């Protein structure tokens, strides 16, 4: 059951081969056993999980089960959960209990999913390795000396190690896709505005988007379907009819299920900077796609190289403002001792925030300051439009864009922590997607020289999530990379 | 050397609280006077993860204002974050509008001064923008600590900014009064200055008359009465002139007015000014206002003071002065209109005289608003009709009015008739009766008769007075005049 797909779990629950309570217990036991080594969870909510599982069992018994009723899941600790700690990986919120549920949490509760707990993350979702967590780094189940990626490292590690069948994450510059790649699972970030940000603690509001983690594209689909949908409480939420993102997956596979699919390969994603083993693995995956009937075409994203500088202006600018509310006045960390008001602010924030968060607040404050705003912030917004325009042009020549998710496989814990810029460069293939607001997905496509997973990124046009999941699913029907598990997950 | 002739330059920024039932970005109530923090929702206290949603009622009020002053209602305006730390500013930024405000331009005509010296002037407006109010810091009763009340946080404000068009404190007060009357007229603000619903900041500078360049300004913050506005400007102007004449210079600064001492004192200098790091709020889409929306709002607009004034002149034959006085406030205009509606258009001038004269004087003495007048418009109209049809004279009407004021004659529209009947105030118009009185008076005052015949016109007036007295004021004065003269010249 630990390794079962959602389809199998659904069937087992509906056939009463297993109860939701039993299933939750199974995963809670696994968490208890494996989490000390992985640090994937910040909070495990056993009582809440069992209560939700009992309710799910009643629903199943009443014949009112939906696709996720009784399915255990984990939430990234960026989502507010009523009555359960929501830390955002920060000392600032180490004791914060939200009085309300995030929209995503509400949706999944309503679907009958069973929340096992809250997963580790880079503090305020700022990071690419999960090392910037007040609660210590989460570890990669394939090799616990390696990072699981970030910022949603805990969710990725939890799914990869089968501590939860599925998990939520958020992706501001690659924080779902990159950890999915580094831990050998599937992760999708939908079009900006598809999932409400209400109750999702903001890092960079114009880029933040919730996403889904699972072993396979097929398992991501029902999770994303339940998370998505218009929410009037988020003004950037898009008013669109609800979708079944898995609607294309049931069609018969056939010999060439992706016949005619045009896959664009951006020259800029295949240049220097990509590790040789990653390149070879990605090339092999593309060959597989051609075998499935797809054709590959070269496309250009001439401004993609400017994505990282643009991102590291826009995201910190928004973050510097978004994080101002953490001032020690109403909730969160307040210094034990302080002089005047200003001293209280300084000490509380100095103590409450970690280095990377401080770094981004400082950068963001700087680029918004009088005299620098035009040169940095406005300039970055122009680049953002150019990057979106590049994608628009590319999608006139192709249906899907493919390339590596990360230039390397997972690196060692501590390896890049002294060099923030090197760390920033690890998101070079994912960031442009957020700047353009497009949907993107990462799926496992093999292993590097070190035996660590390699991810293939697929980028679609706006609202093409169902198509992206289908493109991944057809590949997964023909390959078994998504079925590979790290040791200890039998 | 002759003393410099200084010219005063004043621009006003007025914060007008919009009378929506709920806040500008949350559903919490805006009612005044509740227990601290009971009207602060998750959004208002800026819990992690919450998002603002724009209240369209606030936008509609901004549109009304824009239409009322002949401004451009921007088809697209943008909400921006104004970043600064203060305990009563929960998010660490205020959502306001900066580069693209919702209302642009416009003008208001004001009347300054009284009587012969009164003049009209048009004040241009720069802009009006929507923003949220902050909470309140309470520095008393907390034993060395400060209390924070966030009930007011998120209350919608329209900040109305004038051009530096005013040249005296009298003009500034006239402008503030006109604006105050207008926002109440179009029902977007209750205008309650004690409760802070209408607060003025005055930018004040002086320059030698004839100099084109503006002097350096100081901004007087938060004036919540017209009297304080006048006092603060007068003090500030005097202070600036004295300083300049002493050879000093003015430094740009923000100052506070102390009503107890009548002085302004510096709050912060330009050097200490905040860098607010404005940038577009990524949580809110640009505010788009369609032509249709504007047309709909225009359709629901009341007749504006200028239009009503013109109508009073054209339809009722009132002087421009009377029309201006009667449209100085929504309540006075409504009272007058209701009186005319009941008394008939032909009696409009008479109605105007009574509303501006006796009624205004009595209300003023009793410190009552016209809406609380003990004499209802229909009652006043009933009395005016009796003046018009010669049932009572103007002199007797004062007696009748006094009775109406005291509630005599009942609540009905026929109160004046009741009073006239009960007190026997009906004018005597029977020529025979009046001639009888005249004969008695002539017989009793032979000296006056002699004087009149000798050419002393004064003696005639004395005789009229005697006849009126004999009739207890009830004789028709016109008839008395006519009959007396006929008799004397016979």
Q: What is the pLDDT of residue B43?
A: 97
- In angstroms, the separation between the Cα of residue B51 and the nearest Cα of chain A is 6
| Most confident of the following: B155-159, B316-320, B392-396 | B155-159
Does B369 score more than 70 pLDDT?
A: yes
* Residue A128 falls in the annotated catalytic set: no
Q: Which of A151, A152, A225, A348 is catalytic?
A: A151
Residue A256 among the catalytic residues: no
Q: How many angstroms separate the CA of residue B100 from the nearest CA in chain A?
A: 15
Closest CA to B277 of B94, B128, B24: B94
pLDDT at B392: 87
- Predicted confidence (pLDDT) at residue B143 exceeds the cutoff of 90: no
Question: Are the beta carbons of B285 and A325 separated by less than 8 Å?
Answer: no
Q: Is A151 a catalytic residue?
A: yes
pLDDT band at B467; cut points 50, 70, 90:
confident
Contact B81 A232 (CB under 8 A): no
Handedness of CA B106, B111, B112, B116 (dihedral sign): positive
Structural domains in chain A plus CATH codes: 1-246+253-490 (3.90.1300.10)
- pLDDT band of A358, cuts 50, 70, 90: very high
| ipTM of this complex | 0.96
Q: What is the mean pLDDT of residues B291-297?
A: 98
Task: Tell if the CB–CB gap between B283 and A98 is shorter than 8 Å.
Answer: no
What's the rounded mean pLDDT across residues A424-433? Answer: 93
Which residues 37-76 on chain A approach chain B with CB closer than 8 angstroms?
A: none
Measured between alpha carbons, how far is B23 from B474 in angstroms, rounded to an integer? 60
Domain boundaries, chain B: 6-294, 303-423, 431-489
B85 chain-A contacts, CB cut-off 8 A: 324, 327, 345
Contact A234 B90 (CB under 8 A): no
> Can you give the pLDDT at residue A374?
94
> Which residues does chain B have within 8 Å of residue A318's beta carbon, measured at their own beta carbons?
282
Which residues of chain A are within 8 Å of residue B83 when distances are taken between CB atoms? 320-321, 324, 368
Which pLDDT tens digit goes with each residue over A377-414?
999 999 999 999 999 999 999 999 999 999 999 999 99
Distance CA B68, CA A22 (A): 67
CB pairs under 8 A between A and B: 95
Contacts of residue B422, defined as CB under 8 A and 6 or more positions apart, other chains included, come to: B408, B409
Of A99, A321, A369, the CB nearest to B275: A369
- Which residues in chain A are closer than 8 Å to B45, comparing Cβ atoms? 330
Report the 10 Å Cβ neighbour count for B384.
Answer: 26
Instruction: Assess whether pLDDT exceeds 50 at residue A467.
Output: yes
pLDDT-derived band at B439, boundaries 50, 70, 90: confident
Model pLDDT, residue B452? 85
Residue B292, CA distances (Å) to A438, B295, B443 in order? 33, 5, 80
Picking from A398, A405, A462, the residue whose alpha carbon sits closest to that of residue A431 is: A405
> Distance (Å) from the C-alpha of residue A412 to the closest C-alpha of chain B?
32
Amino acid B450: pLDDT: 85
Average pLDDT along chain B: 93
Closest by Cα among B44, B474, B6 to B207: B6
Residue ranges in B189-282 assigned as alpha helix (H): 226-245
pLDDT at B462 over 90: no
What is the mean predicted confidence (pLDDT) over B73-91? 97
What is the percentage of chain A residues whose pLDDT exceeds 90? Answer: 95
In this prediction, residues A145-155 reach a mean pLDDT of 97
Inspect the interface and report whether the beta carbons of A88 and B277 lie closer than 8 Å.
no
**Average predicted confidence (pLDDT) for chain A:** 97
**What's the pLDDT score for residue B285?**
96
B22, β-bridge pairs: B29
pLDDT single digits (tens) A235-247: 999 999 999 999 9
CB neighbour list of residue A77: distance below 8 Å, 6 or more residues apart: A42, A43, A85, A86, A87, A88, A89, A118, A119, A120, A121, A154
The answer to whether residue A82 neighbours chain B at the CB level (below 8 Å) is: no
Determine the Cα–Cα distance for residues A429 and A180; give it in Å rounded to an integer: 14
**Contact between residue B240 and residue B249 where contact means Cβ atoms under 8 Å apart:** no
Identify the pLDDT of residue B1.
46
Q: Quick check: B490 pLDDT over 80?
A: no
Of chain A residues 196-225, which have a CB less than 8 A from chain B? 197-202, 204-206
Protein fold of B431-489 = Arc Repressor Mutant, subunit A (1.10.10)
Q: Bridge partners of B108?
A: B123
Give the mean model confidence (pLDDT) for residues B348-365.
95
Is A304 an interface residue toward B (CB < 8 Å)? Answer: no
pLDDT at B139 over 70: yes
Which of left, alpha, beta for A147 (phi over 0: left; psi -120 to 50: alpha)? beta
pLDDT tens-digit readout, B86-101:
999 999 999 999 999 9
A80 vs B48, B81, B87: nearest CB: B48
Lowest mean pLDDT among A189-198, B171-180, B399-408: B399-408
Confidence band of A490 (pLDDT split at 50, 70, 90):
low
| Chain A residues 307-346 with CB within 8 Å of chain B | 317-318, 320-321, 323-327, 329-331, 341, 345
Residues of B with CB under 8 A from a CB of A: 42, 45-54, 81, 83, 85, 87, 90-93, 148, 275, 277-279, 282-285
Dump the DSSP string for A324-362.
Answer: GG-SSSSSS---SS-SSHHHHHHHHHHHHS-HHHHHHHH
Closest CA–CA distance from residue A36 to any residue of chain B (Å): 28
A368 close to B (CB below 8 A): yes
- Of these residues, A19, A90, A98, A175, which one is catalytic? A175
Q: Given A98, A234, A377, which is nearest B47 (Cβ)?
A: A98
Instruction: Check pLDDT > 70 for residue B318.
Output: yes
Residue that wins the pLDDT comparison between B478 and B95:
B95
What residue of A is the nearest CA neighbor of B278? Answer: A368
As a 3-state breakdown, chain A gives helix, strand, coil percent values, each rounded to 5, of 40, 15, 45
Q: Does A95 touch chain B (CB under 8 A)?
A: no
DSSP state of A71: -
Q: Is B16 helix (H, G, I), strand (E, B) or coil?
A: strand
Q: What pLDDT is recorded for position B473?
A: 81
Q: What is the pLDDT of residues A213-226, one digit of tens each?
A: 999 999 999 999 99
Residue from A201, A368, A380, A384 whose CB has the most chain B CBs within 10 Å, to mutate: A368
Q: Which residues on adjacent β-strands are paired with residue A429?
A: none
A320: which chain B residues are within 8 Å (Cβ-Cβ)?
83, 277
- pLDDT reading at B140 higher than 90: no
The answer to whether the CB atoms of B279 and A373 lie below 8 A apart is yes
> Lowest mean pLDDT: which of A91-105, A197-211, B31-45?
B31-45
Handedness of CA A217, A218, A219, A221 (dihedral sign): positive
């Amino acid at each position: 059951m630990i390794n079962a797909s959602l389809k199998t779990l659904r069937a087992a629950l509906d056939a009463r081969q297993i109860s939701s309570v039993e299933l939750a217990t199974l995963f809670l036991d696994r968490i208890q056993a494996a989490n000390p080594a992985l640090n994937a969870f910040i909070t495990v909510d056993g009582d809440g999980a069992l209560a939700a599982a009992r309710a799910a069992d009643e629903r199943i018994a009443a014949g009112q089960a939906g696709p996720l009723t009784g399915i255990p899941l984990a939430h990234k600790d960026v989502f507010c959960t009523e009555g359960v700690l929501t830390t955002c990986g920060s000392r600032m919120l180490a004791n914060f209990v939200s009085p309300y549920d995030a929209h995503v949490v509400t949706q999944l509760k309503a679907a009958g999913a069973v929340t096992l707990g809250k997963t580790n993350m880079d503090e305020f979702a700022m990071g690419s390795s999960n090392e910037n967590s007040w609660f210590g780094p989460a570890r990669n189940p394939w090799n616990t000396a390696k990072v699981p990626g970030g910022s949603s490292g805990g969710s990725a590690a939890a799914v990869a190690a089968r501590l939860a069948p599925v998990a939520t994450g958020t992706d501001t510059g690659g924080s779902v896709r990159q950890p999915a790649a580094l831990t050998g699972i599937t992760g999708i970030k939908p079009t900006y505005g598809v999932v409400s940000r209400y109750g999702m603690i903001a890092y960079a509001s114009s880029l933040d988007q919730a996403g889904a983690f699972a072993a396979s594209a097929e398992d991501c689909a029902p999770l994303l379907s339940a998370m998505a949908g218009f929410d009037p409480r988020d003004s950037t939420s898009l008013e669109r009819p609800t979708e079944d993102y898995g609607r294309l997956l049931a069609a018969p596979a056939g010999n060439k299920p992706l016949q005619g699919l045009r896959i664009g390969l951006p020259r800029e994603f295949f240049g220097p900077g990509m590790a040789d083993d990653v390149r070879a693995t990605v090339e092999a995956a593309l060959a597989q796609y051609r075998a499935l009937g797809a054709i590959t075409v070269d496309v250009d994203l001439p401004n993609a190289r400017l994505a990282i500088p643009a991102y590291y202006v826009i995201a910190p600018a928004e973050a510097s403002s978004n994080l101002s509310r953490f001032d020690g006045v109403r909730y969160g960390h307040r210094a034990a001792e302080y002089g005047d008001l200003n001293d209280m602010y300084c000490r509380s924030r100095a103590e409450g925030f970690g280095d990377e968060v401080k770094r981004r607040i400082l950068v963001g404050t700087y680029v918004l300051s009088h005299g620098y705003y035009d040169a940095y912030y406005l300039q970055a917004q122009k680049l953002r439009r150019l990057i979106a325009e590049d994608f628009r042009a590319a999608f006139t020549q192709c249906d899907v864009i493919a390339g590596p998710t990360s230039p390397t496989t997972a690196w060692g814990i501590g390896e890049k922590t002294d060099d923030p810029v090197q760390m920033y460069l690890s998101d070079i293939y994912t960031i442009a997607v957020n700047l353009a607001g497009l949907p993107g997905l990462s799926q496992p496509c093999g292993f590097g020289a070190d035996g660590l997973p390699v991810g293939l990124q697929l980028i679609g046009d706006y609202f093409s999530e169902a198509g992206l999941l289908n493109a991944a699913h057809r590949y997964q029907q023909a390959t078994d990379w998504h079925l590979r598990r790290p040791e200890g997950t039998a | 050397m002759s003393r410099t002739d200084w010219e005063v330059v004043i621009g006003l920024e007025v914060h007008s609280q919009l009378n929506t039932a709920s806040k500008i970005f949350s559903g919490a109530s805006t009612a005044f006077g509740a227990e601290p923090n009971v009207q602060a929702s998750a959004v208002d206290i800026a819990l992690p993860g919450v998002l603002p949603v724009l209240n369209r009622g606030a936008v509609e009020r901004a549109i009304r204002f824009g239409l009322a002053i002949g401004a451009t209602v921007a088809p697209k305006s943008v909400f921006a974050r104004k970043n600064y730390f203060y305990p009563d500013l929960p998010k660490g930024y205020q959502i306001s509008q900066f580069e693209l405000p919702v209302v642009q331009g416009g003008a208001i005509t004001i009347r300054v001064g009284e009587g012969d010296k009164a003049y009209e002037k048009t004040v241009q407006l720069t802009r009006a923008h929507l923003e949220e109010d902050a909470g309140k810091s309470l520095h008393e009763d907390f034993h060395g600590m400060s209390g924070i009340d966030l009930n007011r946080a998120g209350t919608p404000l329209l900040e109305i900014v004038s051009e530096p068009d005013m040249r005296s404190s009298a003009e500034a007060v006239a402008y503030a009064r006109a604006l105050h009357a207008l926002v109440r007229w179009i029902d977007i603000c209750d205008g309650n200055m004690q409760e802070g619903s209408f607060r003025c900041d005055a930018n004040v500078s002086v320059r030698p008359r004839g100099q084109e360049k503006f002097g350096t300004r100081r901004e007087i913050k938060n004036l919540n009465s017209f009297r304080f506005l006048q006092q603060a400007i007068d003090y500030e102007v005097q202070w600036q002139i004295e300083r300049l004449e002493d050879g000093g210079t003015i430094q740009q600064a923000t100052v506070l007015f102390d009503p107890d001492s009548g002085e302004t004192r510096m709050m912060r200098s330009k050097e200490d000014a905040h860098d607010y790091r404005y940038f577009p709020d990524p949580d809110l889409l640009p505010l788009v206002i369609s032509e249709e929306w504007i047309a709909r709002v225009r359709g629901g607009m009341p007749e504006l003071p200028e239009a009503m004034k013109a109508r009073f002149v054209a339809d009722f034959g009132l002087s421009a002065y009377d029309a201006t006085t009667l449209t100085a406030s929504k309540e006075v205009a409504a009272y007058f209109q209701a009186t005319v509606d009941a008394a008939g258009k032909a009696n409009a001038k008479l109605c105007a005289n009574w509303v501006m004269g006796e009624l205004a004087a009595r209300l003023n003495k009793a410190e009552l608003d016209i809406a609380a007048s003990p004499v209802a418009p229909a009652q006043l109209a009933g009395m005016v009709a009796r003046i018009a049809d010669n049932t009572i004279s103007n002199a007797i009407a004062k007696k009748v009015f006094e009775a109406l004021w005291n509630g005599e004659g009942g609540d009905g529209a026929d109160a004046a008739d009741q009073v006239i009947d009960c007190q026997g105030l009906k004018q005597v118009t029977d020529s025979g009766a009046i001639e009888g009185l005249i004969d008695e008076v002539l017989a009793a005052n032979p000296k006056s008769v002699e004087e009149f015949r000798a050419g002393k016109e004064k003696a005639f007036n004395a005789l009229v007075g005697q006849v009126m007295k004999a009739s207890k004021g009830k004789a028709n004065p016109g008839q008395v005049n006519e009959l007396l003269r006929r008799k004397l010249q016979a």
